[in-house]
Amino acid sequence: MIDFHTHVLPNIDDGSRSSDMSLEMLAEEAAQGVTTVVATPHFLAQDMSIEDFLERRNDALSEVRGNMSKADTPFPAILAGAEVYYFSSMGLAEEVSMLTVEGTNTLLLEMPFGQWSSRVFENVEQLINRQNLTVVLAHVERYIGFQKDRSVWDKILTLPVIPQINSGSLIEKRRLFRRDKTYEFCIEFAKKTDKLILGSDCHNLSDRRPNLKAGREALEKALGSSAVAMTDKTIKEVLG
């Protein structure tokens, strides 16, 4: 089991607050049967250069790997990655490829939280066709509410992008007499797609804790084991 989207590295973004917390989160991942996590701290181009980000991320990763090797608990392996927030002209910025998941040409892209424009489409298309990147759209369920006009959404989803859904969004929450809209969207989306990645997007040990196992179980309950197998197949394709 692979958790493709996590904020387990300490003191680099709004995820883990300390080395101890990182180890607890990783031990929890292992307890759920996760064998590999991709560490995907937030990268915001307006805050930091790619070089500075990579130096900070790699330092945090070395610290965690060092601490894991000293502990007696089982831990998953960690692959270095990033959750790259969309920025204008990123499609032509070749340095973006430095932010791909270790050993791959796969980029976890966080899309704008607003109406997507044709410029957004162009940039995503350039990342794929000019830069030859495999683009994974982080938590695809979190943007749909902003797309009053769905034409760009539809166009982007016809590109060979790989959608990722947060496992927590698949865990059904009932609101009085209505089912949760995000849950409904995710199930309908998962039904129609032949490529999908689940990730916990865990940030801590409280309200955004590692929950990949529960998400997989919820997907299986809703759509059967073939849906879970489809997510495993997608992640293998993406990580090579």
Site for Fe ion, rule CB under 5 A:
83, 201
Contacts of 15 (CB under 8 A, 6+ apart): 6, 7, 8, 9, 41, 202, 203, 204
Q: Which is nearer to Fe ion, 112 or 223 (CB)?
A: 112
Q: Which is nearer to Fe ion, 13 or 24 (CB)?
A: 13
Nearest-approach distance from CB 146 to Fe ion, in angstroms = 17
Nearest-approach distance from CB 231 to Fe ion, in angstroms = 17
Q: Which is nearer to Fe ion, 24 or 201 (CB)?
A: 201
Scanning 105-223, the segments in alpha helix (DSSP H) are 118-129, 151-158, 181-192, 212-223
Three-state secondary structure call for residue 166: strand
Q: Which residue is nearest to Fe ion (CB)?
A: 201
- Strand order of the β-sheet with 83-85 is 42-43, 83-85, 106-110, 134-137, 162-166, 197-199
Nearest-approach distance from CB 30 to Fe ion, in angstroms = 20
Q: Which is nearer to Fe ion, 144 or 223 (CB)?
A: 144
Nearest-approach distance from CB 119 to Fe ion, in angstroms = 23
